[in-house]
Amino acid sequence: MGDEIVFSTVSKCFAPIDRDAWNALTQGVAWADFLDASRRLLQRGAKLGEDESPASRVRLSCPLQDFLSVGEVNALFAPPSWEDVRSFAALHFTGGLPASAPPIESLYRLPGDGAEPFAPHGESRLPGSYYGESARYMRDLVRRMGMSLPPAFADCPDHLSIELDLLAVLLRSGMTHQAREFLSERFAWLPAFRLRLLGLEDQAHVRFYVGLVDVLLGVWLQHAADAASKRPFNDV
């Protein structure tokens, strides 16, 4: 096991954490473990929350370059400093600014839309509004599972960091089936968020965040493909 490190690490990358925590996350073995776990989860046939079989361990694994662009891989192998991350968040993860791109699910879903997120094709306007249905679901789910939201996320229980954190907690708790269901249901908004990031001018740091999102999207798509392959009469 150990898939949860992917989600808990990306969760922290999108959250307002302090310098020590950022350095501990990105400057030690933890970051190498994250990259390794990401690469493993992105392999064809990898299953979320399952131990690697002895056979799969000896199979050749594709490098991250096969899943991400060169720029993204380079950015992930050299994470930005805490100062850069803090500056990026002050410009882009803050509300009400022209280049705002808060990683909050409600903002990328049309009001009343529980299913398909809306990708703003070239538009600067975010389609949703704060505290939509996904936020209320996450608030209730967190509460239902006996946990509490930290005050910094009180306005956005559907912040990417919280969704990923909950996914990591589910995996860590052995709730693999629930984790897969959660992964399947929750992350369809990431393409819209990715598009929003790509529209920002700060491309040097955008590559780092888009790389993280692409890891998540790769896992999400891999999982979706896996789920589809198990459907009866899939190709009929």
Partner 1 sequence: MSEHAITRRSFLAGSAGVAAAIAGSEFLSFGSWQQAYAEEAAGPTTTAHSLCNACSTKCGFTAYVVDGKLDKIIGDASHPYCEGTLCARGYGYADIAYSADRLTDPLKKNESGQFQAISWEQAYAEIGEKVQSIIKESGPETLAIVQDPRPSGKYYSQRFMNALGSPNVYTHGVACNMSKNSGFAQVIGASDYTSDVENSKMTMFIGRSYADAIRPSALHALEKAHEAGAYIVLVDPRLNNSIAFADEWVPINPGTDLAFILGMAHVLVSKGLYDKDYVAANSVGFDEWASYLQNCTPEWAQEITGIDANTIERLATMFAEAAPAASIEPSWRGAFGCSYDNSGETARAVCAFNTLLGCWNQKGGALFLPSVSASKLDAGTFPSVPKPEGTIVGAKEYPLSQSGMGVSVFAANLATTGMVRGMFFYNSNMVAGYSNPEHLKECVEALDLSVAIDVQMSETCMACQYVLPDTSYLERLELPEFVSAKTPVVTLRDKVIEKVHPNTRPVDQIFSELAEACGVGEYFTFSVEELADAQLASVGLSLDALRQKGTAAFPEKTFEYGKTPEWKTPTGKIQFASDACEKAGLPRVPQWREPAVSVPDDGASFRLIGGKQAIHSHTQTANIEALMDITKQYGLDRVWMNANRAAELGIADGDTVLVSNDLFSGQAQVKVTERINPEALYLPSHYGCSSPQQKTAYNVGLRQMDFVPYRLEEGYGGACTQETFVTVKKVGA
DSSP state of 57: H
| x-marked contacts with partner 1 along 180-219 as a string, rule CB under 8 A | -xx--xx---------------------------------
- Interaction pattern, residues 19-58, with partner 1; x per rule: CB under 8 A: --x--xx--xxx--xx-xx---------------------
Give strand pairing partners of 104.
159
Closest distance of CB 235 from partner 1, Å: 25
Neighbouring residues of 115: CB distance < 8 A, sequence distance ≥ 6:
188
Q: Collapse the DSSP code of 11 into the 3-class scheme (helix H, G, I; strand E, B; otherwise coil) and give the result.
A: helix
Q: How many CB atoms lie within 10 A of CB 74?
A: 14
Instruction: Report, in Å, the least distance between residue 184 CB and partner 1.
Output: 9
**Which residues from 62-91 bind partner 1, rule CB under 8 A?**
87, 89-91
Please, are residues 208 and 31 in contact by the beta-carbon 8 Å criterion?
A: no
Which residue is associated with the tokens 């690469």? 39
User: Which one of 38, 49, 73, 161 is in contact with partner 1 (CB under 8 A)?
Assistant: 161
Binds partner 1 by CB under 8 A, chosen from 65, 69, 81, 94:
94
Size of the site for partner 1 (CB under 8 A): 76
**Helix (H/G/I), strand (E/B), else coil: 33:** helix
Which of 170, 192, 197, 216 touches partner 1 by CB under 8 A?
Answer: 170
Of residues 127 and 191, the one with the C-beta less far from partner 1: 127
Side chain identity, residue 27 = Q
Euclidean distance between the first and the last CA atom of the chain, given in angstroms as a whole number:
35
Tokens of 152: 């910094």
Binding mask 112-151 for partner 1 (x = CB under 8 A): --x--------xxxxxxxxxxxx-xx--xxx-xxxxxxxx
